[in-house]
Amino acid sequence: MPATRDYWPLVMENLKQRITPAHYKTWFSRLHFVDVDSQGRKLILSIPSTFNRNYIESKFKQPLREAVSKYYPQVVHIDFEIQKNEEIEEIKQEQDQLNLDSNPSDQPISHPSDAPLANVTSSEDKTPHYLPKKSLNNLNPRYTFDNYVIGKYNELVANVAKGVIQSPGSLYNPLFIYSSVGLGKTHLIQALGHKMLENRPNFNIKYIPAETFKQQYIAAVQKNEYAKFREYYGQIDLLLIDDIQSMAGNEGTQTVFFHIFNELHQANKQIIITSDKHPKDLYGIDERLTSRFEGGMVIDVPKPDLEDRMAIVKAKIAASDLNLSDILVHRIATVIDTNVRDIEGVLNQIQARTRLLPDREFTLLELEQILTKRSEIVTIPVSGQSSSPNTILQATARVYGIQIADLLGSKRSKDIAEARQLSMWLIKSMLDYSYPSIGKILGGRDHSTVMHGVSKIEGKVSVDEKMKEKVRLIQVAIGAV
């Protein structure tokens, strides 16, 4: 055995003093000495995966180099040799990093079988519990073309979807649909899934949110069932992946999806993906994936104009048995110019009031009260001299009754975790800081943690009344800071 190898255990012991035990176990326990070249200037190490190497080089390059220099002073370059079974290792290491960086209560492993389902489960099905049974497609029975309102704004994307139904796997593959939140992407792709099932009853169709996909493969690795996971996805005829931006920053998840994507695409299986951005604007998504997305049909869903919004309001009213005058319909469509989800939110509030007083006509004054309250809650200032990361943190801490140190620290109670994520979202929404910059402000957190926090609050703020009220209170507090 070369004498140079004898120093490697000393390097590892030195490294343990420079980083936390958890990080050492996750990233360096499978790092092994291979050789030092004849001039003694290059150290060659064996490492489990590209993901492991990239993470060490981005996060721990300096402590590793310092530890190596202490015992190999002539070494100038450190090279890594990737071991076999790279894909499995990437999954294991991303799982470990999720355990280090994430609060388990914030990111539970979700079970698709908890969602509304359109089929019946077979007791003979041996599919792992964390995956939808093979007889289940995970489609919500409410999301069909019968209640999907088609107007000028979404006519093109609806026609493209219907074209896919006629020629799955060949006409537009993949089909990539993007838009701002609340414009019906999820409804559309699930309606497409239902229609495909009508036309092709034997098709294996699966609707999977991207966040759920990530949790599924982590569960597969925990159970040592990764081969079953790959086999499961390889048998799908129509794969509907919702909110692909949720994979941002998760290299292991993207690697797995990349291989599944290629396998299905090569077999002419139809893939449909939704996102909140065009592929070229997806921050944190690997270029090899975005290039494949752009290789298919990329289409956006623009915001509906006034005429379309009036049609949407009328269709929603008819479906919910409300009776509103044309004046009220026009007023709702004029004021709520953001998205379909916000229109539905107003109509839900109207319906709740009319159920309490079924014999009294709903008035314009009552509508104005709802619209005024809603406008006050969701308005977010874009910028201003009084707004800064510090004022946002102070205001958020004041509203939640905590200290700024709690926002920057490692405490993970429910209230503190929510306040931390809300402050991330406010800094992004109001000041348009980058994710890495926000991470540095919030105690040096990773950009993927910030992206998760911003995405989580983004999903709540348009539908959760308690969250809207907290945003309103923080706005008031910002003005007082």
Pairwise pLDDT comparison (74 vs 210), residue with the higher score: 210
Q: What is the pLDDT of residue 380?
A: 41
The encoded tokens of residue 359 equal 């014999």
The CATH architecture assigned to 3-84 reads: 2-Layer Sandwich (3.30)
Burial grade of 4 (CB within 10 A; 0-12, 13-18, 19 or more): middle
Q: Shortest CA distance to 60 belongs to which of 97, 34, 24, 94? A: 24
The encoded tokens of residue 373 equal 């309250």
Helix (H) or strand (E) holding 27: helix 21-27
Give the mean pLDDT of the chain.
Answer: 80
**Contact yes or no for 424/408 (Cβ under 8 A):** no
**Contact yes or no for 278/178 (Cβ under 8 A):** yes
Q: What is the pLDDT of residue 269?
A: 93
DSSP 435-477: HHHHHHHTTS--HHHHHHHHHHHHHHHTT-HHHHHHHHHHHHH
- Dist CA 138 CA 143 (whole Å): 11
Q: Which residues pair with 298 in a beta bridge?
A: 176
Pairwise pLDDT comparison (383 vs 47), residue with the higher score: 47
Q: Shortest CA distance to 285 belongs to which of 333, 244, 313? A: 244
Q: What distances in angstroms separate CA 477 from CA 165, 280, 291, 400, one per listed residue?
A: 51, 37, 44, 11
Burial grade of 87 (CB within 10 A; 0-12, 13-18, 19 or more): middle
SS3 81: strand
Confidence tier at 98 by pLDDT (50, 70, 90): low
- Dist CA 312 CA 337 (whole Å): 12
Instruction: Report percent pLDDT > 70 for the chain.
Output: 84
Q: Give residue 152's identity as a one-letter amino acid code.
A: K
Q: Is the dihedral of CA 309, 311, 317, 319 positive or negative?
A: negative
Per-residue pLDDT for 480 more than 60?
no
DSSP 280-311: GG-TTS-HHHHHHHHTSEEEE-PPP-HHHHHH
Per-residue pLDDT for 319 more than 60?
yes
The encoded tokens of residue 113 equal 């079988």
Q: What distances in angstroms separate CA 337 from CA 11, 151, 183, one per listed residue?
A: 61, 15, 11
Give the homologous superfamily in CATH for domain 389-480.
DnaA protein, C-terminal DNA-binding domain (1.10.1750.10)
Q: What is the pLDDT of residue 20?
A: 84
- Dist CA 218 CA 82 (whole Å): 22
Per-residue pLDDT for 149 more than 70?
yes
For residue 432, is it left (φ>0), alpha (ψ between -120 and 50) or beta?
Answer: left
- Dist CA 90 CA 95 (whole Å): 8
- Dist CA 151 CA 310 (whole Å): 10
Per-residue pLDDT for 136 more than 80?
no
Per-residue pLDDT for 139 more than 60?
yes
Mean pLDDT, to the nearest integer, of 374-393?
Answer: 57
Per-residue pLDDT for 265 more than 80?
yes
Share of the chain residues as helix, strand and coil, in percent rounded to the nearest 5: 55, 10, 35
Q: What is the pLDDT of residue 293?
A: 93
- Dist CA 245 CA 283 (whole Å): 8
Please list, in sequence order, all residues whose beta carbon lies within 8 angstroms of the beta carbon of residue 25, skipping any fewer than 6 positions away.
Answer: 96
Q: What is the pLDDT of residue 176?
A: 95
Q: What residues does each domain of the chain span?
A: 3-84, 136-300, 306-378, 389-480
SS3 328: helix
- Dist CA 430 CA 445 (whole Å): 20
Q: Shortest CA distance to 462 belongs to which of 434, 427, 425? A: 425
Q: Which residues pair with 175 in a beta bridge?
A: 272, 297
Q: Shortest CA distance to 187 belongs to which of 408, 235, 195? A: 195
- The strand pair at 42-47 and 32-36 is best described as antiparallel
The encoded tokens of residue 365 equal 């004054």
- Dist CA 51 CA 86 (whole Å): 9
Q: Shortest CA distance to 300 belongs to which of 180, 209, 144, 187? A: 180
**Contact yes or no for 148/188 (Cβ under 8 A):** yes
Mean pLDDT, to the nearest integer, of 297-318?
Answer: 89
Q: Which of 11-20, 80-89, 156-165 has the highest mean pLDDT?
A: 156-165
- The 10s digit of each residue's pLDDT in 179-206 is 888 888 999 999 999 999 888 888 899 9
Domain spanning 136-300: which CATH class is it, in words? alpha beta
The encoded tokens of residue 81 equal 């040799």
Q: What is the pLDDT of residue 270?
A: 95
Q: What is the pLDDT of residue 272?
A: 95
Per-residue pLDDT for 333 more than 80?
yes
- Dist CA 453 CA 462 (whole Å): 15
Confidence tier at 92 by pLDDT (50, 70, 90): low
Q: What is the pLDDT of residue 112?
A: 36
Per-residue pLDDT for 376 more than 60?
no
- Dist CA 244 CA 251 (whole Å): 13
- Dist CA 116 CA 105 (whole Å): 23
Helix (H) or strand (E) holding 236: none
Q: What is the pLDDT of residue 103?
A: 43
Per-residue pLDDT for 166 more than 50?
yes
The encoded tokens of residue 279 equal 């592929």
Per-residue pLDDT for 99 more than 90?
no
- Dist CA 376 CA 361 (whole Å): 25
Please list, in sequence order, all residues whose beta carbon lies within 8 angstroms of the beta carbon of residue 432, skipping any fewer than 6 positions away.
Answer: 383
Confidence tier at 316 by pLDDT (50, 70, 90): confident
Confidence tier at 140 by pLDDT (50, 70, 90): confident
List the CATH code of the domain at 306-378. 1.10.8
Lowest-pLDDT choice from 102-111, 191-200, 399-408? 102-111
Mean pLDDT, to the nearest integer, of 50-75?
Answer: 83
Q: Which of 257-271, 313-327, 453-467 has the highest mean pLDDT?
A: 257-271
**Contact yes or no for 250/448 (Cβ under 8 A):** yes
